[in-house]
Amino acid sequence: MLKKPDHVFDREAQWRALAQFVDRVGQRPQFGVVSGRRRQGKTYLLESLATASGGFYFGATEATEADSLRQLSTELTRYLKLPAPLRFADWREAVSYLFAEPRLRSVPIIIDEFPFLSKASPALPSILQHAIDRTAIPRKGPSLLICGSAQSIMGRLLAGQAPLRGRANLELRLRPFDHWIAARYWGISDPELAIMVHAIVGGTPAYREFVSGDAPGDRGDFDDWVTRTVLNPATPLFLEARYQLAEEVTDHRETGLYPSLLAAIATGSNTRGGIASVVGRKSNDLTHYLNVLEDTGLIMRVQDAFRSGRSIYRIAEPLITFHQAIVRTELGPLESGRAGQVWARKQPQFLAQVLGPHFEALCRSYTELAPAELFGARPSQVQSGVVTDSVHRTQIEIDVVAFDVPEPGKPPRVLALGEAKWGKVLGIRHIERLRRARELLTERGYDTRDTTLACYSGAGFEAGLSGSGERVRLIGLEDLYTPT
């Protein structure tokens, strides 16, 4: 199998899938789709694959059909070392050529930024479909990989009634690095520092390049690192959140609404009604805009664990939360070089709106992958949720709720209820709150016989807490960074 080049960090499983695709080249016609949000390393991986396998790589740009066809023919002419330049009148001709040229059967053909092509030429997916269907009969044909970040286009390519549905034998979605992998990528071994950095740059590989590989040396360097990187107008990271939005959201109705929606979510108004009141619109009028943001993968809607029909929005990319909560209202002072003052002033927002919620999200990610020993079984679903306590007239917010695999005819089995606090020492009253929630859930018919009460803290635990009762688990920063 094709060896992964040393410069490609991690991405073992993804490389394996791509290398297997390459192994099958020439044996059968193939069609593969690679997708993922911007800056996740799709191009990096595919260019490396093309180099390692001698494949043909074409990176489309935003252009007219005629222009794109010209770019493709130039690249193909060069790749195939043809004496005379190729010319394609339309995509039908170009696709026929790609599928008929014998020298292109023994290598992968990689077309990156496919959405630029299909945007200018909406018939392209069905032209490809016809070409693929024709080659399927003599079982001879090329191995074509298409790639793109516009989730709205890439997702639809293979979903529902789309012409390419059912034709792909590889579907790869590149996600950000998991938090412990991101820590290694940034060369950070202190878990506290790793979480603080992850709360800003997440697991998006490109962001390390955006700051020329500058990582904070230690906890004491963190504030300085923030002011010299993400708050520094001279780094590409500074404006990245705005670029992401501009590149991903191509809907030109009311573009000003999108940053306001993101800002509302980032600053803690995450229900549809809450967002509506912050941006000053009726809840129903936001449906289209929230759907567009969800389609791009910049936000996600998550269901409450216990209240059916209730959902909240979360921002998927930490940098966007950071931008909306910290940077957006301070562009003036930041552009005039006052990052130090801004950063000092924004500490409460950083803790409450960025680090706190981010820590909760990391605790959920950790729990999703928890080994069976931790909570009695491997969780099948991890959410957050609200339990209503009508006796005490309160709502108990639960940061981490882990469910076992649902079984038909049986009540949902709760494996764990967890409280996550970045800056607080957790103690007996936190356990009591979780215990009360467990009691209420038992009354409501959930199976809580083996529910573990989990405390996740960035600041430690009161002495004796682990012995405070049945099935209590304490999870500290080191645990979050211990591969399970």
Using CB under 6 A as the criterion, which residues of the chain lie in contact with ligand ATP when the complex forms?
8-11, 36, 38-44, 149, 205-206, 209
Question: At its nearest, how many Å lie between ligand ATP and the CB of residue 44?
Answer: 3
Among Mg ion, ligand ATP, none, residue 421 binds (CB under 5-8 Å by kind)? none
- Among 14, 43, 68, 260, indicate the residue that binds Mg ion (CB under 5 A): 43
Considering beta carbons, is residue 38 or 364 the nearer one to ligand ATP? 38
Collect contacts of 244-248 with beta carbons under 8 A, ≥24 apart: 244/38, 244/39, 244/298, 244/317, 244/319, 244/320, 245/298, 245/320, 247/38, 248/37, 248/38, 248/149, 248/150, 248/296, 248/297, 248/298
Contacts with 248 (C-beta within 8 Å, 6 or more apart), sequence order: 37, 38, 149, 150, 296, 297, 298
Return the residue nearest ligand ATP (CB atom). 41
Q: Are the C-beta atoms of 302 and 385 separated by less than 8 Å?
A: no
> Smallest gap, in angstroms, from Cβ of residue 25 to Mg ion?
22
Query: Considering beta carbons, is residue 172 or 196 the nearer one to ligand ATP?
Result: 172
Q: Residue 367 touches which of Mg ion, ligand ATP, none (CB < 5 to 8 A by kind)?
A: none
The interface partner of residue 40, options being ligand ATP, Mg ion, none and the CB cut-off 5 to 8 Å by kind, is: ligand ATP
Interface with Mg ion, residue 118, by CB under 5 A: no
To the nearest whole angstrom, how small is the minimum distance from the Cβ of residue 261 to ligand ATP? 22
Nearest approach, Cβ of 8 to ligand ATP (angstroms)?
5
* Nearest approach, Cβ of residue 41 and Mg ion (Å): 8
What is the rounded distance in angstroms from the CA atom of residue 247 to the CA atom of residue 296?
Answer: 10
Q: Alpha-carbon distance 175 to 173, whole Å?
A: 6
Question: Sign (positive/negative) of CA torsion 43, 45, 46, 48?
Answer: positive
Taking the least distance from each CB to ligand ATP, the nearer of 187 and 423 is 187
R_g of the chain computed on alpha carbons: 25
93 touches, from Mg ion, ligand ATP, none (C-beta below 5 to 8 Å by class): none
- Output the residue with the shortest Cβ distance to Mg ion: 43
Strands 30-35, 170-173: pairing is: parallel
Nearer to ligand ATP, 116 or 446 (CB): 116
- Where residue 89 falls (left for φ over 0; alpha for ψ -120 to 50; beta otherwise) is alpha
Q: What is the dihedral of CA 68, 206, 201, 185, to 10 degrees?
A: 150
- Could you say whether residue 135 binds Mg ion (CB under 5 A)? no
- With contacts defined by CB under 5 A, how many residues of the chain interact with Mg ion? 1
48 scored as a contact of Mg ion (CB under 5 A): no
Site residues (vs Mg ion, CB under 5 A)? 43
